[in-house]
Structure 1
Amino acid sequence: MSRRHEDFDELCDPDNPQIIKYEDVLEASKRIKNFIKPTPCTPSHFQRESGINIFYKLETIQKTGSFKERGAINALTLLPKDNQKIGVVVASLGNHAMGICYYGQKLGIPVTVIMPTCVAAIKLQLCQNLGAKVIVQGSNLVDAQKYGRGYAKDKGISYIKRDYPNILCGYGTVALEILDQMPNMDAIIVPVGSGGLVAAVASVVKHVKPECLVYGVQSERLPTFYKSLEAGEPITLPYEPSIAEAIAMPYVGVNAFRNAQNLLDKMLLVKEDWIARAILHLVENERFVVEGAGASPLAAILGNLVPELKTKNVVCILSGGNIDAVLLGRSLDRGLAAEGRLIKFKVLIKDFASAYEQFMLLLAQGGYNLIRQFQDRIWVENEIYRVEIKAVCETRGLSHALELKRIVERAYPNACSFETEPFNDDRTCPCHAKSLKPK
């Protein structure tokens, strides 16, 4: 009985997954070296605090801002000349498409990109700026991919999927560079979406240096690869939006899963707030602008998920830097809130000028910066002469924030409440400051 239904893809056949060969990755490295230069692997400024010798592999500085270029150029250059003239079709949320578009333009290969309606407008625009024909179709990536395969079949155009062997071999060149730059590496932490990057990295690293640990990390919001490993087979989960949008994949790659399944040492799940904190840390302390997916490896360290790596040499792959300005701003604010540096609370005060002055002086004398405030006189039950102020204040950190809570509670007993976790908990004396940090 044949499995070759209309959406069957022989290069991503669940019954016959393609295994990445080390030799093919070496060939891919030779193939792409005229297009892509090695990216730096630079030490972190966070080593003393974390106790881990952290190094960042900066795939963010690729021409289109992510490691996806490696797979794109490898796959495009391996296309037969006749197919290159006709063009290619790709379905993507952004990074994969941008890599194909950029090198398609370089090589004179027409590119059609299928994107779902949920795609970030900036990524759609970037693909158009790179000369691609963009078709918006489907409410999610799975729908866009199904449409893309049908479109390619109808037009007689080559379809390029992120799980194809040539794409994965291109991704594997990241690991070759890291092994050359960091021969004393003890572990590597890799962002995981559909699994192509971690599969390629694990295949190369375990071939050359089997004792080196390879960890995958993804948001707990959409733990598709994690759940697939638990189930022993690829599974699909309902899509959930995530701050790490580039790895918020409801499915896993057939080839990626098969290659990574027996090579990964550990899969880690990180909270959304940890990813936000990692983005904030990378901007403030490392001077790197990194998208949520790329910040996930550092999020695992900030969340204290890898205590066994203390004193070890650990490489975090910063897989991409394509984060739009709006999401970056939200991520930084969320990171500040997660660290206790932005505090939201409400307080009832008398609706008189002198009471406002007293409240503002209270904040100023404590060194707090009032970021936002909203005054509510209408929906205040049984209070005709008092106003509820909803405020967001900036603090210097967790201890300073706890002090704000104590100051406000002393000044306005039984008339205030703090909405930002963990400050909505009564156990917020200084002795709990350390334990209130994410574990």
Structure 2
Amino acid sequence: MVDSPGGDPGTSPAPLAPLAVSVDDVRNAQKTLSGVARSTALEGSRHLTALVGSPVQLKCENLQRTGSFKLRGAYVRIAAMPAEERARGVVAASAGNHAQGVALAASLLGVRSTVFMPVGAPLPKVAATRDYGAQVRLHGQVVDETLRAAQEYARETGAVFIHPFDHPDVVAGQGTVGLEILEQCPEVRTIVVGVGGGGLAAGIAVAVKQLRPDVRIVGVQAEGAAAYPPSLAAGAPVALDAVSTMADGIKVGRPGDVPFAIINDLVDEVRTVSEDALSSALLLCLERAKMVVEPAGASPVAALLTAPGTFEGPVVAVLSGGNVDPLVLQRTLRHGMAAAGRYLSLRLRLTDRPGALAALLHELSEADANVLDVSHVRTDSRLGVDEAEVELRLETKGPQHCADVAGALRSAGYKVIG
């Protein structure tokens, strides 16, 4: 929560404008979603509980219909439209989660939907959006170009543009996650949630703070797409010049006006996490919680891993989505394993003679390191006449094992140079 600016001594601060969404709006949205959106499970995590030092539970929106929370807001938004607007159809722009949420919501409500997606959108997400009933149009290389195309389509055809986060009905729909958390974990003290444009965090804050003002709400952004910290400092949405993160679900360059006002008023803190933390969190969710999540969905877990002793429990971390492209999952898991010390890359020099490489591999076997890749260089101006350079990528068991392997090689007389 950002403190209101102070005036002169003895003067009263200006009253805050009423928020665009109330807890009653969220309750009404919950009624609208009855029989449509699942009340997703709250799963305890012994591993995270031990790390954080307080009970941690995971709110599994990755198990929601369409694989993310987005169905909630999209359905509430379209359901609230008058018949005349529904007849014109709806249009949206998205790289994945919002696309699927709008497609299914429109299909359930008998509304025609068109979804613009970037040309490079993952094929599984494009296929799923079509399967949910939308007409998919591929346009642009980045979401901003896709967004402009969708808005132009809305102007030309009269279709209603469904914004992914900047509308009161969307925020109210996402806020039903907060009501479920209070029902499932009445003793909750901290809720940690990923933040992109801010619709989910704003909705949860409205639902929770008006019923339980003692609960702390912590938003999480990727360091390379963190528009909220400068916006909160400025007191108004600030657009970033560029965004870069593996977490495409929270890769948003400017906060929405509606969610920003709510987050500025009700959210206690917004933290940022690194790419290493995101990939490590995704790996942890897969290995320890048996949960497939996308990098954005793992961002609350990344925050817990980054500063584990700073959260009062019980803690609920919202896994906002699980729609991760298999190729992205593969790359992210490799990154996460490297960040967790499960891979070790080394360069070393040895005497270029028969059996030298075999002897090196024997040393690595004795150190219980699994060799993934070997590159053997004999012709380089940096090398002596009788030298060879070997680059190795090894699978290891963690940071201490990495240190032990490197130490064993040095003890055996090898010159480790990187």
TM-score normalised by L of structure 2: 0.92
RMSD: 1.7
Amino acid at match of 1:221: G
Counterpart for residue 421 of structure 1: none
Q: CA deviation at 1:378?
A: 3.3
Map 1:374-385 → 2, pairs under 5 A: 374-379=375-380, 381-385=382-386
Counterpart for residue 114 of structure 1: 116
Q: CA deviation at 1:294?
A: 0.8
Q: Quote the Cα distance in structure 1 between the aligned partners of 2:144 and 2:18.
A: 19
* Deviating more after overlay: 254-263 vs 121-130: 121-130
Partner secondary structure for residue 119 of structure 1? coil
Map 1:395-406 → 2, pairs under 5 A: 395-406=396-407
Counterpart for residue 100 of structure 2: 98
Contact 2:196 2:255 in 1 (8 A): yes
Partner secondary structure for residue 64 of structure 1? helix
Counterpart for residue 363 of structure 2: 362
Q: Quote the Cα distance in structure 2 between the aligned partners of 1:383 and 1:73.
A: 69
Q: Quote the Cα distance in structure 1 between the aligned partners of 2:179 and 2:269.
A: 21
Q: CA deviation at 1:329?
A: 1.2
Amino acid at match of 1:83: E
Matched, 1:49 2:57: no
| Gaps in structure 2 of 5+ consecutive residues | 1-16
Amino acid at match of 1:97: A
Counterpart for residue 180 of structure 1: 183
Gap change, CA 1:377 and 1:74, over 3 Å in 2: same
* Deviating more after overlay: 251-260 vs 124-133: 124-133
2:265 to 246, 262, 272: 262
Q: Quote the Cα distance in structure 1 between the aligned partners of 2:41 and 2:22.
A: 25
Amino acid at match of 1:199: A
Q: Deviations over 1:212-264 (max 9, x none)?
A: 00000011111112221122110111333312111011111110101110211
Amino acid at match of 2:288: N
Q: Quote the Cα distance in structure 2 between the aligned partners of 1:326 and 1:66.
A: 19
Map 1:315-394 → 2, pairs under 5 A: 315-379=316-380, 381-394=382-395
Counterpart for residue 30 of structure 1: 31
Map 1:13-412 → 2, pairs under 5 A: 19-46=20-47, 47-162=49-164, 163-304=166-307, 307-309=309-311, 312-379=313-380, 381-412=382-413
Contact 1:17 1:255 in 2 (8 A): no
Amino acid at match of 2:23: Y
Q: Quote the Cα distance in structure 1 between the aligned partners of 2:123 and 2:254.
A: 23
Q: CA deviation at 1:107?
A: 2.5
Q: Quote the Cα distance in structure 2 between the aligned partners of 1:329 and 1:32.
A: 34
Partner secondary structure for residue 58 of structure 2? strand
Contact 1:348 1:412 in 2 (8 A): no
Amino acid at match of 2:416: C
Q: CA deviation at 1:18?
A: 6.3
Partner secondary structure for residue 128 of structure 1? helix
Q: CA deviation at 1:181?
A: 0.5
Q: CA deviation at 1:118?
A: 4.5
Q: CA deviation at 1:363?
A: 0.5
Gap change, CA 1:217 and 1:350, over 3 Å in 2: same
| Gaps in structure 1 of 5+ consecutive residues | 1-15, 419-439
TM-score normalised by L of structure 1: 0.87
Q: CA deviation at 1:402?
A: 0.7
Amino acid at match of 1:375: H
Gap change, CA 1:380 and 1:175, over 3 Å in 2: farther
Aligned length: 400
Q: Quote the Cα distance in structure 2 between the aligned partners of 1:374 and 1:282.
A: 33
* Deviating more after overlay: 326-335 vs 52-61: 326-335
Q: Quote the Cα distance in structure 2 between the aligned partners of 1:300 and 1:59.
A: 18
* Deviating more after overlay: 168-177 vs 96-105: 96-105
Amino acid at match of 1:126: A
Amino acid at match of 1:336: M
Q: CA deviation at 1:388?
A: 1.8
Partner secondary structure for residue 109 of structure 1? coil
Amino acid at match of 1:32: L
Counterpart for residue 9 of structure 1: none
Q: CA deviation at 1:301?
A: 1.1
Partner secondary structure for residue 345 of structure 1? strand
Counterpart for residue 6 of structure 1: none
Counterpart for residue 417 of structure 2: 417
Q: Quote the Cα distance in structure 2 between the aligned partners of 1:192 and 1:249.
A: 9
Gap change, CA 1:17 and 1:236, over 3 Å in 2: farther
* Deviating more after overlay: 260-269 vs 384-393: 384-393
Q: Quote the Cα distance in structure 2 between the aligned partners of 1:349 and 1:299.
A: 40
Q: CA deviation at 1:380?
A: 5.2
Q: CA deviation at 1:404?
A: 1.0
Contact 2:349 2:417 in 1 (8 A): no
Q: Quote the Cα distance in structure 2 between the aligned partners of 1:380 and 1:406.
A: 28
